[in-house]
Structure 1
């Protein structure tokens, strides 16, 4: 009962968080999972289901990643976000990318895939300028025709905030992406 009283709907917990309020944490976790009060996401990671009119809601991505990494310095997004740029990407992706400073690899939580990538720098929030640089950084991973995407990006360059785009290229672009932007004469003509 002590463990159950500390649980909050929608919150993600690590085993060690709950061990602080339990003298038999593994037994209590098993009982709470069996009762449906807790759902197991991965080894040592649990969440309290939040109910809606449509049934149980999955945990919030930010809450989940914060608990998993034990850190709040990360950026979560879907590659489907590239579609809003209007550069010819239309694919819907069933994965979530997490740029962070700690973990690298594919992790499953419940029935969802998260692609953790260690990056030295990433913004706090998604911007269209960052996404434009990132779509070129990740061009080889796209399902779309790469040459068509490149042509669309080059055509759309003048529509972006040039100062923000120049900062995004300088801060977040890989060497190959920087060369591509230079080939488009971005640094002198467009900035």
Structure 2
């Protein structure tokens, strides 16, 4: 099978709306120059479209014409490097997806430890923020959840009390492995995150063995100001939350 046929078959298996680059194709680096010419021919045929240098997509064909990939798919290439996740979407856009706010974000935030990722391309706009840990495929959802705890007083169109209730319900559904992973990364976050997570876990009846690392990490003289009282979360006093 020649290279041109091979590339066309690979792209043919991609779903409409899929964004891809050279690393998504089963080719060697030595073939990149030849593949560039093949991709140019496919563009001329209208089978693929160019999004940016080295980034292409299969247009979504509808009765009303061709559509670009959806917003999440457009963001995806910025979250990976050489096939490895290095970043995740956070801020209001994420908190909307978590059900914490109905407000939509005009600009998203992209968190990464190793790279500063900003976007200003048409409707696609993003600001770079630094993540508290190296981002991987196995931890990015946990980091996003902890971001929500960190920003709980800043989440728009809601109250701290309402957000605590929603996040508590989500934590209650997690298994011990997920909770252990969350505690591991919470220890890298500010005291307010550790305290709020500890208070929620204690209120959910989790054992001291689980919450002790969080409690030991907090200065007993530090007051965590979140605007919560015992009627909102019965365990707040044990974690110096006011």
1:125 Cα offset (Å):
7.2
Structure 1 residues 74 and 141 mapped into 2: Cα distance closer, same or farther (>3 Å)? farther
Distance (whole Å) between structure 2 residues aligned to residue 110 and residue 175 of structure 1: 35
* CA RMSD between the two structures: 4.7
Corresponding residue for residue 73 of structure 2 = 61
Which of 27, 35, 48 is the equivalent residue of 1:38?
Answer: 48
1:70 Cα offset (Å):
1.2
Work out which structure has the larger RCO, using CA pairs closer than 8 Å and 6 or more positions apart in sequence: 1
Structure 1 residues 65 and 72 mapped into 2: Cα distance closer, same or farther (>3 Å)? same
Structure 1 residue runs without a partner (length 5+): none
Which of 71, 90, 93 is the equivalent residue of 2:102?
Answer: 90
Distance (whole Å) between structure 2 residues aligned to residue 181 and residue 108 of structure 1: 35
Corresponding residue for residue 113 of structure 1 = 125
Distance (whole Å) between structure 2 residues aligned to residue 13 and residue 68 of structure 1: 11
TM-score, normalised by the number of residues in structure 1: 0.59
TM-score, normalised by the number of residues in structure 2: 0.50
- Is the Cα contact below 8 Å between 2:86 and 2:134 reproduced in 1? no
Distance (whole Å) between structure 2 residues aligned to residue 103 and residue 143 of structure 1: 27
1:113 Cα offset (Å):
3.5
Corresponding residue for residue 157 of structure 2 = 144
Map 1:150-161 onto structure 2 (within 5 A). Answer: 150-156=160-166, 158-159=168-169, 160-161=171-172
1:144 Cα offset (Å):
3.4
Structure 1 residues 180 and 51 mapped into 2: Cα distance closer, same or farther (>3 Å)? same
Give the aligned length. Answer: 184
Distance (whole Å) between structure 2 residues aligned to residue 14 and residue 85 of structure 1: 33
Distance (whole Å) between structure 2 residues aligned to residue 67 and residue 151 of structure 1: 32
Structure 1 residues 139 and 102 mapped into 2: Cα distance closer, same or farther (>3 Å)? same
Distance (whole Å) between structure 1 residues aligned to residue 69 and residue 153 of structure 2: 31
Distance (whole Å) between structure 1 residues aligned to residue 4 and residue 120 of structure 2: 25
Which of 170, 175, 185 is the equivalent residue of 2:190?
Answer: 175
For residues 29-84 of structure 1, give each alpha carbon's deviation from its aligned partner in whole angstroms, at most 9, with x where no partner exists.
Answer: 55554543432222332233343455334177299428951123356556444246
- Is the Cα contact below 8 Å between 2:120 and 2:126 reproduced in 1? yes
Corresponding residue for residue 133 of structure 1 = 146
Distance (whole Å) between structure 1 residues aligned to residue 108 and residue 202 of structure 2: 35
